[in-house]
Amino acid sequence: MNILVGDVLTMKKPHPCGSGRWEVLRIGADFKLRCLGCGHEVMGARSKFEKQIKSLVREGETLSPEELKK
Ligand SMILES: [Zn+2]
């Protein structure tokens, strides 16, 4: 999946703070994400996060996971 630093991901499961949106801070085998609701930062395997993505916003455009595979 084509994900870039600065993209905003909407996850299927919201964070306990109520926000489901995360900014991508670092990419690689592991992703580092920051919750846009509370500022909490998490790191984890790329494959784990990719499965949870509902949509992605890049430069004001909303993309679905299917569109990112193209
Ligand atoms: Zn949060």
Number of domains in the chain: 1
Residue 23 domain boundaries: 8-59
pTM above 0.85, yes or no: yes
- Whether 1 is in a domain gets the answer no
- Whether 67 is in a domain gets the answer no
Give mean pLDDT in consecutive 10-residue pieces for the chain, a chain of 70 residues: 93 95 96 98 95 94 86
- Whether 68 is in a domain gets the answer no
- Whether 18 is in a domain gets the answer yes
Distance (Å) from CA 29 to ligand 1 centroid: 23
- Whether 28 is in a domain gets the answer yes
Residues ≥6 apart with Cβ < 8 Å to 68? 1, 2, 3, 56
- Whether 17 is in a domain gets the answer yes
Cα(13)–Cα(20) distance, rounded to whole angstroms? Answer: 7
Taking residue 58's Cβ as centre, other Cβ atoms within 10 Å add up to 15
Distance (Å) from CA 57 to ligand 1 centroid: 18
What is the pLDDT, as a whole number, of residue 70?
A: 66
- Whether 52 is in a domain gets the answer yes
- Whether 64 is in a domain gets the answer no
Show the tokens assigned to 62.
């909303």
What is the pLDDT, as a whole number, of residue 67?
A: 87
Distance (Å) from CA 70 to ligand 1 centroid: 30
